[in-house]
Amino acid sequence: MKIVVLDGYGLNPGDLSWTDMEQLGDFTVYDRTPIEMVLERGANADVLITNKTVITAQHMEALTTLKYIGVLATGYNVVDIKAAKAKGIVVTNIPAYSTRSVAQMVFAHLLNITQQVGYYARENRNGRWSKNSDFCYWDAPLIELYGKKIGLIGYGNTGQATAAIAIAMGMQVCVYSSKPQFLLPQGIQRMTMDEIFSQCDVVSLHCPLTTDTKELVCESRLKMMKSTAILINTGRGALINEKDLADALNKGVILAAGLDVLSLEPPTDDNPLLTAKNCYITPHIAWATKEARCRLMNIAVDNLKSFIAGKIINNVAK
């Protein structure tokens, strides 16, 4: 069995091992593969493993030996699923591997904004505390999260993990979810989306990107928010209209935003959020703790082992 990993660097820049997958067949791994080289590198492959490299219907038509595509992520929009189904190609994904790491990143952003840790650390490195007349100083807002309302748009795995941390910190948790109130845990309040935007101190996005949710954060919803509100996005960048958010931040419509994702990654230099006031951006790394990547690798291997054994799991092309 010929196995080709098209873009393995994102998962494994060198601190993990491909050994378990390598033992399953004739194995080749590339750090990155431009789309024009997919056919060349995938020639005669039984298995293609991809993270962000797009695999189209035309690729599947040309790669006549292809039987299996393993996506090294939860989302699988990089593969033409309709074409895979038509050709009987199994496509697997990696569900729920980074749930706790993503929830942790929500609060990394939130605590950075509310405590200004990065700002004060930089000030002190530049000698400000050493030169200070008093035992302490502050000139950026310090905000206690206890008692504040956090609204979660989406209440799947990461939404639930985020809610658990918020409850532990004494926050009031509100959710926009398809689940009725009686199916939600005690202490979690179901709200409409507009109620969450208008009433909550923090809004955190945990929903999938669909035609219905694209740019759900837009000028009209941002205007609903409190001027002291904080927006967090560890979901998908296109959930936000980026110009509208940049304008809202620059005009003080809301206090701050913590973002781990943007609509185009890497972003262009002119993305307005890169220079927006009180906008804190990390480079899509919520999923990338070593622990989460180890889980991802293990699930990817199990998916392929199961396929070889004729017991397919995590197939998204049924």
259-316, pLDDT tens digit by residue?
999 999 999 999 999 999 999 999 999 999 999 999 999 999 999 999 999 999 999 9
Half-sphere exposure of 42 (CA within 13 A, CB side): 32
Residue 318 has pLDDT above 90, yes or no: no
What is the distance between the alpha carbons of residues 89 and 100, in angstroms, rounded to a whole number? 31
Q: How confident is the model at residue 140 (pLDDT cuts 50, 70, 90)?
A: confident
To the query of whether residue 206 is one of the catalytic residues in this protein, the response is no
What is the distance between the alpha carbons of residues 159 and 167, in angstroms, rounded to a whole number? 12
What is the distance between the alpha carbons of residues 109 and 56, in angstroms, rounded to a whole number? 36
To the query of whether residue 265 is one of the catalytic residues in this protein, the response is yes
Residue 239 has pLDDT above 90, yes or no: yes
- Say if CB 29 and CB 18 are below 8 A apart: yes
Contacts of 65 (CB under 8 A, 6+ apart): 2, 44, 45, 46
The catalytic position among 61, 144, 265, 291 is: 265
DSSP conformation class of 73: S
To the query of whether residue 22 is one of the catalytic residues in this protein, the response is no
> 16 by DSSP, 3-state: which?
coil
The catalytic position among 190, 236, 293, 295 is: 236
Residue 193 has pLDDT above 90, yes or no: yes
What is the distance between the alpha carbons of residues 69 and 71, in angstroms, rounded to a whole number? 6
Global confidence as pTM: 0.92
Q: Name the residue type at position 280.
A: Y
Q: Which residues pair with 150 in a beta bridge?
A: 173, 202
What is the distance between the alpha carbons of residues 224 and 244, in angstroms, rounded to a whole number? 13
